[in-house]
């Protein structure tokens, strides 16, 4: 733990995360000018031409269990903490934050939480937790569906409609597909938080290539950038 915090301290003091002073004071910034960029020459991710309602830096784990028949891991869910990264938009740190946070998060063990990592790195100003990401039973059928839940945190605290359950509609593998999980475009099937959600700038999260025994489970750390579009939720936060 002490070693990990020391490493984080060194990373934080390296200057890589320096931000304009005014931006450090706010937790949530005006996203009117923000636009999602997606890679050229692919049809899986179609970027909306409008501003997002929220952008988040996510730190968490992807969980897998072993399918002994195919000797491969299958996804059983994910858990992540989502930090407001709106004030980083327009700075070089916005797109490098997921990789910087991943290096630190992946180096941690045991009881170190995503909050500890974010606080030590100081890459997100006044780190506000927008919400949590986890899986729930698919509301329309079998299996599990991803959920983004902003009902218990940040400026949407107490708003019971501030969540989204999604279904994947686009999937673009990472250039380093052995290490990094795919970029996703998700349509929202339940909740008012958003109508469309994107997971991009993915780091880590992929399971080992093979496994041997049934119910052998792994949790693999990952970070990503999440974009939330549409929806009808107005947060009670200070926007500069
Ligand atoms: C956000 O910025 C836009 C221009 O970029 C401005 O028109 C709008 O009033 C701002 N919204 C708030 C709440 O400050
Ligand atoms: C996209 O495809 C076009 C036509 O094949 C090509 O000219 C262009 O360089 C490609 N762009 C990228 C970023 O790969
Ligand atoms: C496990 O792998 C087998 C063989 O590929 C496949 O038929 C089966 O559907 C898989 N089970 C699950 C739960 O993914
Ligand atoms: C994922 O694994 C973590 C522990 O690594 C656990 O806390 C969490 O409950 C698991 N979540 C799911 C959905 O499997
Ligand atoms: C592994 O994960 C599966 C699916 O989440 C669960 O049913 C099983 O109990 C877990 N096994 C162990 C040993 O934790």
Summarised one tens digit per residue, pLDDT across range 94-121 is: 999 999 999 999 999 888 999 999 988 8
Ligand closest to Cα of 74 equals 3
Among 37, 38, 39, 40, say which to mutate for ligand 2: greatest number of ligand atoms within 8 Å of CB.
40
Beta strands (DSSP E) in 158-216 are 163-172, 183-190, 196-204
Among 62, 74, 77, 111, say which to mutate for ligand 4: greatest number of ligand atoms within 8 Å of CB.
77
On the question of pLDDT at 7 being above 50, the answer is no
Average of pLDDT values for 66-75? Answer: 95
- CA–CA separation, 72 and 20 (whole Å): 46
Pick 99 or 4 by higher pLDDT.
Answer: 99
From 89, 193, 112, select the one nearest 148 (Cα to Cα).
193
Whole-model pTM: value is 0.89
Residue 176: CB atoms within 10 A of its CB come to 10
Tell me the CA–centroid distance for residue 215 and ligand 5, in Å: 5
- Per-domain boundaries in the chain: 2-18+53-229
Tell me the CA–centroid distance for residue 116 and ligand 5, in Å: 27
The set of protein residues with a Cβ atom below 6 angstroms from ligand 2 is: 40-41
- CA–CA separation, 10 and 88 (whole Å): 21
Per-residue pLDDT tens over the stretch 152-204:
988 899 999 999 999 999 999 999 999 999 999 999 999 999 999 999 999 99
């Amino acid at each position: 733990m002490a070693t990990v915090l020391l490493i984080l301290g060194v990373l934080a003091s390296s200057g890589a995360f320096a931000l304009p002073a005014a931006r450090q004071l706010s937790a949530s910034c005006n996203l009117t000018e923000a636009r999602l960029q997606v890679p050229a020459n692919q049809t899986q991710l179609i970027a909306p031409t409008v501003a997002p309602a929220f952008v988040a830096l996510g730190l968490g784990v992807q969980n897998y269990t072993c399918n002994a028949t195919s000797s491969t891991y299958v996804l059983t869910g994910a858990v992540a903490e989502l930090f407001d990264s709106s004030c980083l938009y327009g700075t070089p740190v916005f797109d490098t934050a997921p990789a910087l946070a991943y290096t630190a998060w992946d180096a941690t063990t045991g009881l170190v939480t995503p909050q500890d990592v974010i606080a030590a790195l100081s890459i997100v100003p006044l780190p506000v937790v927008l919400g949590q990401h986890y899986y729930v039973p698919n509301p329309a059928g079998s299996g599990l569906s991803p959920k983004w839940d902003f009902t218990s945190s940040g400026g949407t605290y107490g708003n019971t409609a501030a969540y989204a359950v999604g279904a994947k509609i686009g999937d673009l593998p990472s250039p380093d597909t052995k290490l990094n999980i795919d970029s996703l475009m998700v349509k929202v099937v339940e909740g008012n938080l958003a109508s469309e959600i994107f997971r991009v700038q993915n780091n880590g999260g992929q399971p080992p290539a093979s496994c041997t025994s049934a119910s052998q489970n792994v949790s693999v750390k990952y970070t990503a950038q999440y974009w939330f579009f549409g929806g009808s939720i107005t947060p009670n936060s200070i926007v500069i």
